[in-house]
Amino acid sequence: MPRTTASFLISPCGMNCGICRAHLRRINPCPGCRSSDAGKPITRVRCKIKTCANFKDEKRKYCFQCDDFPCANLEHLDKRYRLKYRMSMIENLVQIKKSGIRKFLVSEKLRWECPECGGTVCVHNGKCAECGRGAGDRR
């Protein structure tokens, strides 16, 4: 099972790649936005946020460190995720800025841990990657 709560899995936009269906899949899992682009779909390689010129400066790790935070690209992505998946990248980034990455990772583990088996619940389908149960499922 891929790791789901490690700092290298938190992308510049605030997405926890560890809860993404591409990372959680069993065959050819995505290693996350911060890792090598080898073998990734072109949409992830060309991500407007990940390839933003403001990240050319090695000192910046997250979008909240930019003077343009939140930019139009981030706001668009955040709106889509809030509506479709009830998760906000902007809220994640604000939490990281306020409390630090370690506290954020602890809260993510609690938020996305399956109550049935301890696996990871996928943000995209709401089901545990290990046991397949969704929120409220009682088999």
Contact assessment for residue 102 and residue 96, using Cβ atoms and an 8 Å cutoff:
no
- Scanning the structure block, which residue is given the tokens 């990772």? 105
Which residue, among 117, 5, 20, has the nearest Cα to 133 in the 3D structure?
117
| pLDDT for 36 | 81
Rg (CA), the chain: 15
Answer yes or no: is 42 within a domain. yes
Contact assessment for residue 131 and residue 117, using Cβ atoms and an 8 Å cutoff:
yes
Answer yes or no: is 127 within a domain. no
Q: How many residues are given for the chain?
A: 139
Answer yes or no: is 124 within a domain. no
Answer yes or no: is 92 within a domain. yes
What tokens were used for 26?
């069993």
| pLDDT for 57 | 63
Q: Which is more confidently placed, 39 or 126? A: 126
Chain segment 5-39, per-residue pLDDT in tens:
688 899 999 999 999 998 999 888 888 888 887 77
Bond preceding residue 115 cis, omega within 30 of 0 = no
| pLDDT for 42 | 76
Could you tell me the residue range of the domain that residue 66 belongs to?
7-112
Contact assessment for residue 13 and residue 96, using Cβ atoms and an 8 Å cutoff:
no
Answer yes or no: is 86 within a domain. yes
Answer yes or no: is 13 within a domain. yes
Q: Which is more confidently placed, 4 or 101? A: 101
Answer yes or no: is 64 within a domain. yes
- H or E element, residue 94: helix 89-99
Q: How many domains does the chain have?
A: 1
Chain segment 53-100, per-residue pLDDT in tens:
776 666 788 999 998 999 999 999 999 999 999 999 999 999 999 999
